[in-house]
Structure 1
C-alpha cells in the first residue's frame, strides 16, 4: 500500500505503526557495520604475527575500510534519497556480506586491505540508510529517543566488538572475526525485505560521482601521508608529495561542490551555525575517541599482558553505560532539559576526562581505566545523540539520506584520521625512545637483548600511548567547547533553518510503502 503526502498537509505527521520493530531491524544492520570497525582491533597481535603485518599495515587495514566508506557516504545517501532507502539498505547488506567472505579467505595483508576497502562500499550504503530510515518512520517528537537508541547500538558495537573479537581470536583463527558477519547479514536481509518500508524522494538530486571520487582520493592521500610520516620522515619527498596531492584534490573537491549542479555536499549547509557547530564537534569527537580507544586495546594487550578476550571484557563497561542511558531514555531527557549546546558540552567534557583518566591512571591498575571508560560512556550517551540530531535537524527532511551521509562522513573521516594521527604520534614517540630499531612493539621486544632492555621498550611504548591519549582528550574537549559555542550562537540568532521546519514534515513528495 502506498501513500503519497505533500509538504502542506495540515495534519501532524504520523509515525509508522511498526516503527519500533523496524528500528530494531535497521539497528541490526547498523550493528554489523560498527562491529566490523572495532572487532579488528583485538586481532592486531594475531595479524602482526600471522601475516607479518607492520604498524602501517595494521593502520591501513583499519583505514582502508573507513576511507572508502567516508568517500562514498554522501553519494550513497543521495542515491538512497532518489532511488529508495530500502533498496540501498538491502544492497549495502549484500555487498558487506560479500566483502566479509573475501576477507575470510584473504592470505596476505594486501588481500585483507583490499577486502576491507570493498566492505567499505557496503558500509557506506548501510550507514546512510539506517539513520535516514529512522528519520522517516518516527515523528519529530520521537526523533531524539530513536536517535539515542541508534547511537546506543553504535556504542554497543564499538565496545562489544573487541569482546566478540577476543572470543573468536582465543578459540579460532583471525579470519573468524569476519566470518561472524555472514549470519548477521543474512538475518538482516530477511528482516529488511519483510519489514522495512520503502521511502524515497523521486525528485532527488543525481549522485555526484566526481565529488565522491575526489573526496575519496583526497582523504586517502591525506591519511597516507600521516601514516607514512613516522616511517619515512615528515620532510621526505614521499610524504610531502602525498600531502600536496591531498591538499590539491580536496581543494578541487570543494571548488567542484560549489559549482556542481547536484553537489553531494551542499556548501550552503555551512551557513547554518547549528549545522557548523555539530560538524565541528562530530569530527573532533570521532578523532579523539577512535584514535584513543584504538590505542587502549594495544595498551591492554601489549603492555598489561591481557589476552584478546580479557581485553575485550575490560572495555565492555563503556558500552554498558551508553546502552543503559540511551535505552532507558535518560539521554533524551537530558537533551530536552539541557538543550543541544549544554548536552554536547557536558558529554564531551566527561569524555575528555575519561581519556585523561586512562592516560594517567592506567599504570596504577585497571581501576583508572574503568573510571575512564565509565566517564567516556556517560559522555558519549549524552553528546553523540545530540550531535546527530543537530546535524539531521539542520537539513531538509527530503535530503535525509544526504544528512545521514554527512553525519557518517564526519564520523568515518574523524575515525580514520584519529587512528592515523594518534597512531603516528605513538610511532614517533616510540621510535624516539626505543633503544632498538623496530617497526612494532613485538619486533622491538624480540630484538631486545636483556630484561632491562625489554622493560625500556615497554616503557617507551607506554610513554607513546600516554602522549597519544592526552592528545585525543584535548581534541575531544576542544570539539565540545567549539560545538557548544557555535550551537549557542545559532540558538540566539534563531539560525535553526532548515531543520525544525522541514524536518518535522514528510518528504515532499515521498512514496512510503510498507
Structure 2
C-alpha cells in the first residue's frame, strides 16, 4: 500500500470532505422514509412500490460494497471514491427530476451503487492521510458523521418537503457530494493495495441476484399471495442463489466474503445480534413515518421532529454503553439492550388510534436505548474476537450482513404491514376501482376517503394501519426477546483474546472497532 512520508498538511480539510460525504450516506438511509407518504400521494405509489423505493438503495448497497472496496484497492482508492461520488450525484439528479415511481426506484438503485464505493473507501483512505496517533480520532469522526446522518434524515427531509417539492430530498445531496468530489480530487493522495483479492464477478452477481429475488418475493407476497407461482419461484430462486454464493465463497482460495468466519461462534452470534437490531430498526423507520403523518396528521417536518426521541435514546445509550460494557461485559450489555428493545416493541404494540404522540415518544425513546446498548457492543465484540489479520474481512462481512438485515427488515416487516392493512381495511360499499386504490396504502385510502367524502373509510384506514403497525412491533418484540435469550445463553462471557489475536501483530483492534462502530 502506498503511504505518504509524513502527515499531509491538508488532511483535516480532506477529513471535512469525508464527513460531508458520510453525512449524505447516513441521511439518505432515512431521508426518504419521511417523504414516502408525500410521494405515495403525488405519485400514486403503492405500499410495495414504497418498499422498493427504500429497499433499492439498501439492496444494491449491500450487494456491491465489498466488490467496490476491492476495486478501490486494485485501481486506486481516490479514483474509485470520486467515481462512486459521481454515480451517487447522477442518481440524486435523476431522482430529483423524475416524475414516475419506476424512475425513482431506478435512481435509488444508482445511488446505492455510488454509496457502495463511498462507504468502504472513505475509511480506507484515512490511513494514508493520518499518522497512527491521529488515525483512531479521524476514523471515529468519519463513522460518527455517518451515524449522525440517520437522525438528520427525517428532519432535513421534513423541512424540505414543507418548503419545496418531494424531489428536493434528492437534490439536497448535490452540493454536498460536489464538495466531496472536489476535495477528493485536490486533497487526497492516491493509494492502492495490489495484493487485495480480485473482484469475483460471479460472486457479485450471485449476491445481487439472490438478494433481489428474495426481496422481490417478500414484497410481492401480500399482493399476489404467498402461494402465487411467481412469489414461490422468486423466493426459491433467491434461496438457491444465496446458497450457491455460500458454497462458492467457501471454496475459492481468496473469497470476497470470508464465510469461514461464521464458523467462529462468538463472531457469528454477535453478528446475528447486530443484524437483528438493524432488521428491526429499518422496518420501524419504514412503518413509523406513515403513522405519524397519515394517522396522527403531522406534516413532514413535524414527523421528522417527532422521531427525535428514538435518536435521543440512542445518544444516551452511546454515552453510557462503554462504561456498562467495562462493568458487565459485552454479553450482559447486549442481552440487556435486546431486552429493552423487546420491551419497547411490546409496549409500542399497545398503540391505538387514540393513543396520541406522548405514548409513541415513550416507546420510541426506549427503542433508541435498546438499539444503542445492543448494536455497538455487538459489532465491537464481533470484531474483537478475531485476530487483527482477519479484521478487514470480518468487518466487510459484518457490514454486508448488517445491510442485508436492513433490506430484509424493510421488505418483510413492510409486507407484513401491507397484508394486515389490506385484510383489516373495510371497503364495503365502495366501487371496485376505489376499493382497490384504497387498499394500496393508508395514504391512498385517505385520498379516496377525501374524494368520496367517506369519513368511515378514513377511520377504517387509520384503525387498519395501527393494527398492522402493532402486529409489526409484536413480531419485532418476539424476535428481540428470543435473540436476547440466545445471546445471554450462548455468547461468551469475559474472555481473553483469541490466541491468534495475541500472536498476530497488526493494526490495533480498537482502530478497527472505531471504523465499524
TM-score, normalisation: structure 2: 0.85
The corresponding residue for 2:407 is: 416
1:94 aligns with 2:86: yes
How far apart, in 2, do the equivalents of 1:22 and 1:390 lie? 30
Aligned partner of 1:339 in structure 2 is: 329
For 2:226, what is the secondary structure of its paired residue?
coil
* 1:462-501 matched pairs, under 5 angstroms: 462-483=466-487, 485-488=489-492, 492=495, 495=498, 497-498=500-501, 501=504
1:243 and 2:235 are equivalent in the alignment: yes
1:219 matched to which residue of 2? Answer: 211
User: Is residue 311 of structure 2 the alignment partner of residue 319 of structure 1?
Assistant: yes
Where do 4+ consecutive residues of structure 1 move more than 6 Å? 14-22, 145-148
Deviation at 1:400? Answer: 5.9
* Residue in 2 that maps onto 1:103: 95
Match status 1:355 vs 2:339: no
Q: Distance in 2 between matches of 1:394 and 1:166?
A: 41
Q: With a CA cutoff of 8 Å and minimum separation of 6, indicate the structure with the bigger relative contact order.
A: 1
> Which is worse superposed, 40-49 or 14-23?
14-23
Aligned to 1:509: none
Partner of 1:286: 278
Corresponding residue of 1:11: none
1:504 and 2:495 equivalent? no
Question: Residues 43 and 410 of structure 1: is their aligned pair in 2 closer, same or farther, counting only changes over 3 Å?
Answer: same
User: How many pairs align?
Assistant: 494
Larger CA deviation: 277-286 vs 378-387: 378-387
C-alpha distance in 1 between matches for 2:127 and 2:474: 36
Moved more, 304-313 or 154-163: 154-163
User: What is the deviation of 1:435?
Assistant: 1.2
> Cα RMSD between the aligned structures?
3.3
Distance 1:458 1:54 in 2: 16
User: Structure 1 residues 446 and 167, CA, compared in 2 at 3 Å: closer, same or farther?
Assistant: closer
Judge conservation of contact 1:357–1:368 (CA < 8 Å) in 2. Answer: no
C-alpha distance in 1, partners of 2:81/2:491?
Answer: 32
Deviations 1:112-159 (A, max 9, x none): 11111111111111222344456885869985x877665643442222
For residues 138 and 367 of structure 1, what CA distance do their matches in structure 2 show?
48
In structure 1, what is the Cα distance between the partners aligned to 2:115 and 2:471?
32
Alignment of 1:32-181 (within 5 A): 32-132=24-124, 152-181=144-173
CA separation of 1:15 and 1:389: change in aligned 2, threshold 3 A:
farther
Q: Which residue of 1 aligns with 2:514?
A: none
Say if 2:445 is the partner of 1:441: no
**Structure 1's 2 and 251: CA in aligned 2 closer, same or farther, altered over 3 A?**
closer
In 1, Cα distance between the equivalents of 2:13 and 2:366?
31
Paired with 1:230 and 1:209, the residues of 2 have a C-alpha distance of 33
Which deviates the most, 241-250 or 274-283? 274-283
After TM superposition, the score normalised by the length of structure 1 is: 0.85
Structure 2: which 5+ runs fail to align? Answer: 428-434, 510-517
- Secondary structure of 2:492's aligned partner: helix
In structure 1, distance between residues paired with 2:499 and 2:30 = 35
In structure 2, how many angstroms separate the alpha carbons of the residues matched to 1:354 and 1:151?
A: 27
Counterpart position of 1:9: none
